[in-house]
Amino acid sequence: MSAQRAEDQVRRLLDGPHPVVPPELCPEAVRRGARRARRRARGRWVLWLLLGAAFVGFMVWATLNHPWTQPPANRTPPLEGW
């Protein structure tokens, strides 16, 4: 199908009679959109809360365990040359 032919079909569809939109469609769309926005905001809040809790938990673990230090040796080195 050529681009000109497709464009002509689209123009005919747009120039034709338009369907009647139900009057309750707009308020319903606004209600659903507001609900979706509230859910997304709540989801972002929960994710930030979880991220903060993970950060605090990591800091407490790192403070108590000192993972940056070398673990102690299990045995003493041999005493040679005494």
DSSP per residue, 11-78? HHHHHSPPPPPPTTHHHHHHHHHHHHHHHHHHHHHHHHHHHHHHHHHHHHHHHHH-TTSPPPPSSPPP
Positions in the chain whose pLDDT score sits under 70? 1, 82
pLDDT of amino acid 1 = 65
pLDDT of amino acid 82 = 67
Look up residue 38 and give its amino acid. R
pLDDT of amino acid 8 = 92
Tokens at residue 11, please?
Answer: 């123009």
pTM greater than 0.75 (yes/no): no
